[in-house]
Amino acid sequence: MSQIQNNIWAAPHLSMRWWPVFQRNWLVWKKLAIPSLVGNIAEPLMWLVAFGYGLGSLVGQIELGGEKVPYILYLASGSICMSAMNAATFEALYSAFSRMHVQKTWDGIMNAPVRLDDVVLAEMLWAAFKALFTVTAILGVMLALGISHSWKLLVAWPVLLGVGITFSCMALIFNALAKGYDFFTYYFTLFLTPMMFLSGIFFPREQLPALVRVIADWLPLSVAVDLVRPLFMDRWPDQPLRHVLVLTLFAVVSFWIALALTRKRFRS
């Protein structure tokens, strides 16, 4: 047997066969879109209202790059990145795991001429699409609330898709390792929740101890916030190339690891 087949770290073997798998998820989701939309945007909006208007009235304005901005704008521009992260993560963990492990949908798909690599790619893109959908709905609400009206939000939109891609790639690593749904709690409590507080969503990273800050600056969520927040303030981000590269690196490396571990899982 060829060596290539045996190596789980072999380069991804991707083709357009991911599309019918993506279409499958789309068809399921269409049936549940409205309730799913409510769930996806209700929570981020509660955060925004409680913290933005509640806490915001105590904090007042926040100084950012020599400019004073209302706390609600500060929070909204950060929390939308968090929403992209959460939407992608939930889909690539719980929903993908249901399809992979519980319903055995992937097994069925692989009895047709579709490679595992394409199934994983489809799940990744699907989770990213769900993130984009959620983010779009929240952006709509933010526009309606008048939090920002910058036309640069149009640029934030594809950036947030990128954020969704990065986090769905990362989540798929844990999907590949999971024995059950309980396992995902570790990922949330050990990775995502700390990242949420270290990435400058609720307060500036300048408040963090110097050593923690060094690490925090390289977190994918920090990078996402650094890209998106200026766009909300009608400015261009500093070092956009660096940020995009960091996000891309996280995405590519994570996807590769996720694919290798998923191949290992399906090898048996």
Partner 1 sequence: MNTPLLSVQHLIKRYGDATVVNDLSFDIEPGECLGVIGPNGAGKTTTLRMCLGLSQPDGGEIRYFEGLQMPRDALAIKARLGVVAQMDTLDPDFTAEENLLVFGRYFGMPDALIRERIPALLAFGALSHKAQSKPGELSGGMKRRLSLARALINHPQLLMLDEPTTGLDPQARHLMWERLQVLLQEGKSILLTTHFMDEAERLCSRLLVLDQGRKIAEGKPRELIAQHLEPEVVEVFGQGAVALAQEASLKALAGRVEVSGETVFFYTQDSRALLHALQAWPTLRTLHRPSNLEDLFLKLTGRQIREEG
**CB-based burial, 50-61: b 16+ in 10 Å, e otherwise:** ebbeeebeebee
Residue closer to partner 1, measured from CB, 115 or 152: 115
Cβ count within 10 A of residue 157 = 14
| Sites of contact with partner 1 (CB under 8 A) | 1-2, 5-6, 17, 20-21, 23-24, 27-28, 31, 103-105, 107-115, 266-268
Nearer to partner 1, 122 or 173 (CB): 122
Nearer to partner 1, 111 or 185 (CB): 111
CB of 102 to partner 1, least distance (A): 10
Taking the complex as a whole, the smallest distance from the CB of residue 125 to partner 1 amounts, in Å, to 16
205: its two tokens: 């990273």
CB of 254 to partner 1, least distance (A): 25
Minimum distance between the CB of residue 214 and partner 1, rounded to whole angstroms? 44
Q: Give the residue with the Cβ less far from partner 1, 120 or 196.
A: 120
In angstroms, what is the minimal distance from the CB of 112 to partner 1?
4
Alpha carbon of 229 to those of 78, 81, 125, 169, 222: distances in Å? 6, 9, 24, 23, 10
Q: What angle do CA 46, 50, 51 make, to 5 degrees?
A: 115
Count of CB atoms situated within 10 Å of the CB of 75 = 24
Q: Which residue number, 129 or 202, has a Cβ lying nearer to partner 1? A: 129
The residue whose two tokens read 């409590």 is: 189
Residue 83 CB coordination number (10 Å):
26
